[in-house]
Amino acid sequence: MPTMASVKLSTLHPIVNHPHYEDADLRPGCSMLEIWDVEDPSNSANPPLCSVLLKDARPYFTTVFQN
């Protein structure tokens, strides 16, 4: 964990970090969507709500400002 070692060296304080931030091999399978599919397998076949809302947010949300 080179980043945390550098922070500890420069701040002189012990630092605790979650390994997913530093080790890319640990990251696959740990996204929120993948974790929820494990927690709630009955809904794993349904599309994520964020994807549905990005395509068409009506009637749930209306656009009040567009840049």
CB 20 within 8 A of CB 27: yes
Boundaries of every domain in the chain: 25-62
Query: Residue 41 carries which DSSP code?
Result: G
**Measured distance CA(38)–CA(30) in Å, rounded:** 10
Residue 42: the pLDDT is: 92
> Average pLDDT, stretch 42-66?
85
Residue 19: the pLDDT is: 67
- Kindly report, residue by residue over 2-37, the tens digit of the pLDDT: 777 777 778 887 777 776 666 777 777 778 888 888
Residue 32: the pLDDT is: 80
Please determine, for residue 1, whether its predicted confidence score (pLDDT) is greater than 70: no
